[in-house]
Every structure is written in C-alpha cells, then in structure tokens.
A and B are shown apart, each in its own frame.
Chain A
Amino acid sequence: MSQRTLLKTLSIVIACVLFFPVLVIIGSVFTGQATVWSHLFQTVLFDYINNSLLLMLGVAVGTLLLGVPTAWLTSVCEFPGRRWLSWALLLPLAVPAYIIAYTYTGLLDFAGPVQTLIRDVFGLEYGEYWFFEVRSLQGAIVMLSLVLYPYVYLMSRTAFLEQSANTLEVSRSLGYSHARSFFKLALPLARPAIVAGVTLALMETLADYGTVQYFGVSTFTTGIMRTFYGFGDVPAAYQLASVLLLFVVCLILLERYSRRRLSYHLSGLRKTSHRRIKLSNNTAWMATTLCFSPIFLGFIIPAGQLLYWAMFKLESLNAAFFLLAWHSFYLAAIAAIIAVFLALLMAYAARLNKDYSVRLAVSSVGLGYALPGTIIALGIIVPFAWLDNKIIDFIESFVGIDVGLLLSGTLFALLFAYTVRFMAVSLGAIQSGLGKITPSIDDAGRSLGLRPIQVLRKLHVPLMSGSVLTALLIVFVDVLKELPATLILRPFNFNTLAVRAHELASDELLADAAPASLMIVLVGLAPVILLSRSIDTRKNARKNMEKDMRTKSGKKQP
C-alpha cells in the first residue's frame, strides 16, 4: 500500500473512531423504549427544552448587544483608548463561564460584599429589599454573555474591517448619516459574520455545564447529569442527550449556512483603508466607556475577585494543589500532543487525497467542537464499560487473572473524550497552516527523493511550526478548562484544577476554589494574547478571523 492510501485509510479509521460516541447517542434514539420517552415527555423534557431555549435566546441577545457595538466602534471609529480596547475586548475569552459564575455569586449573593454594603448603608434586613438573584436563569444568561461575546465581537469586527470604505462613502454621498449607513449597509453586510459568531457562542452555551449546574438552572446538560448520576437512569440520559444533539445539529447547520454566505459577502469587496470616524469629545468618552464595560465586567472584576480570594488562600498552595495542577497540565499536554499528531496525519491525508471519503472524514471530525462534553462522555462511558467487561471476562477465562478496568474509568477514556472534542481545534489550526504552503513544495520534496511522510516531517512541520504550536496551545488550554466530560470520565479520586474548583464552589467554598480558578484563567490568557497580538491591522484581522473560525469549527475556509 502506498503511503498515500495508507494515510487515507488511517484518517478514515481515525474519523470513525472519533465519531463513534456520536453514533452511540444517535443509535440510542432507535433503541430507546417508548416508556422512557413518554416518561421524559411527561416530566422534565419540556422544562429542559424551555430553559435551554431561553438560555440560548438570552445569550444570543446578550452577545449581540455586547459584541456588535464594540466591534463597530473599534473598527470604524476613533476614540481614546481604541487601540488597546480593541484587543482587551478579547480578554473575557480567558475566563470559563463557570468561573465567572463563582466570582459573581461571591460578590452578589446575600453574604457578599455588595448586599452587605447595601444593608449596612440603608439599615435593611433580609427580605426588606429586592436584589438581583444571580443564581438564576437570568444570571446564567448574563454570565455566559459576558464571557462568550468575544466570539461575536471578533467575527463582526473582522466583517466591519473588511467592508470597503467605498461602500460606506457612497452611502454618505447619497445623503445617509453615519448612523443610517450603519443600519442600512454595514450591519446587513456583516450579518453572516455576526450570525456565525452568535452560533459559536450558542454552541458553547449548549455545552456549558458548570454555570447552569451551579445556578440550579435545569437545562439539558444538568438534566443529563442528574438523570445519569442522580437517578442512574442510563436510557433516559441517552434520550436526553439525543435531543440535545438535535439542537447542536441545528446550530451546526446554521453556522455552515452563514459561513457560506460570509465567503460570498466578503469576496469581491475592494479593500481600501478606512478613514476612521472621529467622534466628538463627549461621544468619544461614551464610546470608551461602552467598550471598557464588557472588559471590566467580564474580566477585571472576576479576575480581581479571584486574585483577592487567592491572596487569603496562599496556604492552600500546598502539595495537593500542585498535584492538581500537575494532573491538569500533563493531561492537557498529552491530549494536545495526541490531537495535534492526529490532526497532522488527517490534514496531510486530505492534502494528498482529494477524494470525497477523506473530506467527509475531516469534516466529521470537525463537528466534535460543537458537541457538548456531556454528550461525548455519555457516548464513551457505556460502550467502554461494555468493552471492558468483555475484555475482563475474556482474559479471566484464559489466564484466570482479573485485570480490572482498562478503558473506562482510566485516563484513556478521558484522553479519548478530549480528542473527540478538541481534535477540530487542532485540525483547524493545522489545516490553515498547511493551506499556506504551496503544493509545489510537496512536489519539489518528492522529486528530490522524499517519501510522502518525510515531506510532512521534513518540510511541512518546520514550515508551519507556528501553526503547530498554536494548535498545541489552544488544545492545551481548552482541555485545562474542560469540565463536564472530565467530571464524568475521570478515574476515581483523580482531580484536575477545573474539577476541584467546581467541587469547592459547589460546596460553597468559593474562596478556596480561587487558586485553581485563577490558574485556569491565567493559562487561558495565553491563546487570547496570541489572538490579540495582531488584531489591529486589516490583513491580520482577516487572518485572525479565518484562524478563529477554523479553530472553532475545524472547517477549511473555502
């Protein structure tokens, strides 16, 4: 078999293995018993659908309100601080939703500093005043919006930057004001990009477990966990997961659709440099304030609160904490290496084989990112347990030794779940790097005597070392933040930073959760800095958008 066919076969096998958990969930729809369904219908299903839809609606509105105006202001207008605000607006991306939820709970709940201050100042007692209940559906909407708006911001900012200055100048010359040009022209032109950004935010919303669980909101993810662990009702959990999958599929379709329109809208526009609109004094300071507030609320307050808590918990930086960090780091590092290694193989296989099967393999792997960790974990845990039992029986019958669990409840299952979920991220980064290498480099290498795999090793990898490092970094950080799949699949008594923070926060030990949370946020800053480093120039904005879109969906840009 030639290396080309070998790689093709390999990537199809990888895709099948990685897609297997999804097939398990889909398959459960057909094996599900009618009684399970009718029970779900009568009890919790509509609650879950209702809450999930409200949450999505709220987050969509929230991210739009936070993301689009800031994007427009920083890309088209000139006001004090615009330059640093335009990258600082990405900072909340570093804060996982569940962590921001802990910090605001600490700040705003009954015993928190804000309410205490109100009571002290006005001399009020419990129940004598109204205060925003942060642990609620509305609270979850606000928390998720505060950390997910950067997706919308990034996508729409790029779209605004890409819009031809001519288009806007024509509309001005036809008598439209800046404001009307924005609504009549800039916004409709940017709409596909904005929609794509919102769908990315909504995928994260659907996948979120930490926030909604902590706030006690019954959505699909919390429902699945409760059904699975609380009631031990595996079939019902699977049915719920399949409904959630349906939601995810809708989002994927919406995202793909708007992406197609995006490439249409962006093509053919002549790129000329914008002359930024200079805002008058008062308006300019309003713009600065407007752009600063999401950063303040989404990053500075939560990070400051974590820092404050952590300072009182310095004694908790003990051996146990470092063991936790070590677990998180090596898990994330191994997962990153696996995901990048497989992504290299698959991306290269797709480059060598132009046929349909490899394309399908690559795009099916690209779907992983849209899948909530709970779905992936459920899709893994039951088949693995079954397989484990078979293996144990088999070995015991032959050798007479009980080897114990080999797959489920081991790091293997966890790493497998991470690969399923984050392979798309690495694949996106690798594919975008590979796409920049002209095909004649491959041909030149081959004609000078390299075998296909050597071309990858000796030419591609050194040439796109930047992309490889980016891929490693992004997967590393994503794994570090991941919560639901880790909760379900981790080996007994094996803790990571994210799991420990979640456990402590759930036990109302918010301050104790701070060191671990802070660590996650700090590591999470790395890819944000990477992303923001080159955000200001137009050329880079386009590149960033592509990189972001690729890393988020694993889809190759047309």
Chain B
Amino acid sequence: MTTSPPTQILTELNVQNISVAYDGVTVVKEADFTLKIGEIGCFLGSSGCGKSTLLRAIAGFETLSSGCITFDGIVLSTPTNTVEPENRNMGMVFQDIALFPHLTIRQNIEFGIQHLNKHERQARVEHLLTLVELEGFEERYPDSLSGGQQQRIALVRAIAPKPKLLLMDEPFSGLDAKLREELVPDIRTVLLKEKISAILVTHDQMEAFAMADHIAIMDKGCIHQSASPYEVYHRPSTRFVASFIGYGDFLTAKVRDAYSIDSDLGVIKSDIEHGFTIGDEVDLLIRPDDVLHDDDSQFTGMIMNRWFRGSHFLYRVKLDTGKIIYCFASSHHNHCVGQSIGLTVDIDHLVLFAKK
C-alpha cells in the first residue's frame, strides 16, 4: 500500500487511516487517501468493496470507527465527532440521480443557494444551465428530462453552492454506454472550469481512467493503491491491483541479479532495481502490450484464440512452456488460430510479486 507523504499545504482532503463498521462488520479498513486542490480522485473497485461507504464517510453520512478526516485543515470526522453533512460544504451526485421530483429544474438548482438573493440565484442558474447546455429547461420538471439531462441537472444542482469538493457515487451507472461516453468528458470539463475538486466512485475502469487524475483501487474495504491511472496500470503495487486493472498474466520467473530475471520468455531486464534477492522465485506481471510480435524471436507461442480490435489484434497464445498469455499485435499481423508466432518482451519496468 502506498500513500503519498503528507504535504499539508497542497492537500485539501486528508483521509487518515479510517475504518467504518456496520453492526460489527468492518466495511472500510484503515483507508488512507489524499486529494489535492483541483484534482479529480476516484475510488475504483468491484461492488461491495467499500468504495461507496468511504465516499459517504467523507460526505458525513457515516460515522468512523477509527481514523480521522480533515478537509482544508479542518477536522470533519473522528470516531467521536462527525460534522453534519449539511455543514461540510460538499456537493454530492447520486447513482439514482435523486432530483426532487416535486420541484422544477430551477427550484432544484436553487435548493442549495437559498441564501443568495433572487437576482444572484437567477444568474447562477442561468450560468450553470449554459455550462451543461440545458438552457431553457428552467421551468420543466425532472420527469420530462432524459436520463442524461437529469444527471447533468443533478451535477449542477450539486455544484450550485460552489462546494469545495464534489462527491459522485456511481453517477453514470444508471445511464447507457453511449450516453456515458458523452457525459464523462463533459462533466470533467465542467469541473475543471468551475475549479471544483471531486471524487468519483465507480466500478468501471474506463470511466475512472477517463475522469480521474488520481485513482484509489479498493478491495474488501482496503485501499490497495492510490496513484495516477498510468501508475496503477503500469506499476501496480499489489497482486490484486495487477489482476484487477486491465488484461494481464503472471509468468513464473527466477531472479538473476538486481535488475533482471529469467522467465519463460528469456531474460528480461529492468531499468531500476526490482528489490528481490538473487535466486528468488517471483511472478512477473505481463500485459498484452508488453509482448511484441517478432518473427525473428527464438521464443514462439501458438495462437489459441484471437480478437480483432480494429487497430490491433488481441491474441491469446500458448508458450512452449505451456503458459498462456495475452499479446497485442498490429492489425496487419493477421494469423490464424493454431499458427505459431515469434514473441519478444518489451518491458522497461518489471512488476514482480513474491511467488504464491
């Protein structure tokens, strides 16, 4: 587990070692997470991993059983004291959208800015509706809007009071795939424009990659890794992260020296020290894009299955040693199932785990 060192000046949200339990069952275990100004964070994990609970703890809907949440230097949650959600200045967007059905779009957006005068409210509503390209919808009721439009309104309702942090609990999972693809970049643009930090909860890696600057991968209540999308993909810190994110296989290998290992695909050398002792048995994470198709290579594999992906092929190949791995190849390299192809490895950073 990695945590970035506490840099108090830049850190907006600081989740320190928190646990949340319901009826004696710990749902979030000793989670650490930090989010800087203007960043969009993400809790990524499969359902039941505790990601929503963690988000709700930050929002103030859950009581901590241990740890501490501070925001902008102010302590918000400890096991003995929880600042009420309405006093946190955080916006929230929900999976089921939760627009108030008895209020018009204008009344929904104005709901959190009652302290402003009429003129200011009106200006804010106009500005926000322009931002999400829904001008002219002020007097309509939520049920006359499509799912995507409703979610946009839910977003602007949440950011209308200019919260310092926006929390989004699976905001796109109720929408169909096409709508989601349109909405995700839109919302990212809006957040950046309004300079609002945000945390997104999702089970969809692509959504996380498209939206977040900073991803925390969760499983069984623990944060396994908290890093940039690039890092969680290429430098997974635990075996779980390695197998959860993207495609990948583990190859058994033996440590040769501080930089290289001996694998089914020959000796592979890393740029930096990998930290294992010579002679150790290790598992090497190998991603489809780490394996190149190379007819001159001494290592070959037989194609077991293949998927045409337009710009490239994804092959499932069986190595001579019997191990099966994924391999990307340019879409010009059209081979049939059963054919043998030459393979080389192109890795500059070894991802190794102690052998199970």
Q: Which residues of A contact B (CB under 8 A)?
A: 2, 438, 440-441, 443-451, 459, 462-463
Does B112 lie within 8 Å of A448, measured CB to CB? yes
Does B98 lie within 8 Å of A451, measured CB to CB? no
Neighbouring B residues of A447 by C-beta, 8 Å: 59, 85-86, 88, 90-92, 112, 158, 167
Q: Does B33 reach chain A (CB closer than 8 Å)?
A: no
Neighbouring B residues of A459 by C-beta, 8 Å: 100
For the complex formed, measure the closest distance between the CB of A440 and the CB atoms of chain B, giving whole angstroms.
4
For the complex formed, measure the closest distance between the CB of A441 and the CB atoms of chain B, giving whole angstroms.
5
With A438-B96, A440-B95, A446-B60 already in contact, 9 other A-B pairs whose C-beta atoms are closer than 8 Å? A2-B84, A441-B98, A443-B59, A443-B85, A444-B94, A446-B85, A447-B59, A448-B157, A449-B86
Chain B positions 127-148 with a Cβ under 8 Å from a chain A Cβ? none
How far, in angstroms, from A463 to B112 measured CA to CA in the complex? 18
For the complex formed, measure the closest distance between the CB of A450 and the CB atoms of chain B, giving whole angstroms.
6
How far, in angstroms, from A459 to B84 measured CA to CA in the complex? 18
Q: Does B161 reach chain A (CB closer than 8 Å)?
A: yes
Q: Does B111 reach chain A (CB closer than 8 Å)?
A: yes
Chain B positions 77-105 with a Cβ under 8 Å from a chain A Cβ? 84-86, 88, 90-92, 94-102
Neighbouring A residues of B102 by C-beta, 8 Å: 462-463
Neighbouring A residues of B61 by C-beta, 8 Å: 443, 446
For the complex formed, measure the closest distance between the CB of B270 and the CB atoms of chain A, giving whole angstroms.
46
How far, in angstroms, from A100 to B88 measured CA to CA in the complex? 61
How far, in angstroms, from A449 to B112 measured CA to CA in the complex? 6
Neighbouring B residues of A445 by C-beta, 8 Å: 100, 111
For the complex formed, measure the closest distance between the CB of A290 and the CB atoms of chain B, giving whole angstroms.
43
A440: contacting residue among B88, B98, B111, CB under 8 A: B98
Neighbouring B residues of A463 by C-beta, 8 Å: 100-102
Neighbouring B residues of A438 by C-beta, 8 Å: 96, 98
Does B86 lie within 8 Å of A444, measured CB to CB? no
What would 6 A/B residue contacts be, using CB atoms closer than 8 Å? A443-B56, A443-B92, A443-B98, A447-B88, A449-B112, A450-B86
Total chain B interface residues with beta-carbon distance under 8 A = 29
Does B94 lie within 8 Å of A443, measured CB to CB? yes
For the complex formed, measure the closest distance between the CB of B64 and the CB atoms of chain A, giving whole angstroms.
15
Neighbouring B residues of A441 by C-beta, 8 Å: 98, 100
Q: Which residue of A lies closest to B102 (CB)?
A: A462
Neighbouring A residues of B98 by C-beta, 8 Å: 438, 440-441, 443-444
Neighbouring A residues of B59 by C-beta, 8 Å: 443, 447
For the complex formed, measure the closest distance between the CB of A229 and the CB atoms of chain B, giving whole angstroms.
51
Per-residue CB proximity of B23-52 to A under 8 Å, as 1/0? 000000000000000000000000000000
Q: Which residue of A lies closest to B163 (CB)?
A: A447
A451: contacting residue among B60, B86, B95, B111, CB under 8 A: B86
Neighbouring A residues of B60 by C-beta, 8 Å: 446
Does B90 lie within 8 Å of A444, measured CB to CB? no
Neighbouring A residues of B161 by C-beta, 8 Å: 448-449
For the complex formed, measure the closest distance between the CB of A539 and the CB atoms of chain B, giving whole angstroms.
18
How far, in angstroms, from A462 to B100 measured CA to CA in the complex? 10
B100: contacting residue among A444, A446, A449, CB under 8 A: A444
Neighbouring A residues of B100 by C-beta, 8 Å: 441, 444-445, 459, 463
10 smallest A-B Cβ distances: which pairs?
Answer: A448-B112, A440-B98, A440-B94, A447-B92, A446-B85, A444-B98, A449-B86, A446-B86, A462-B102, A448-B111
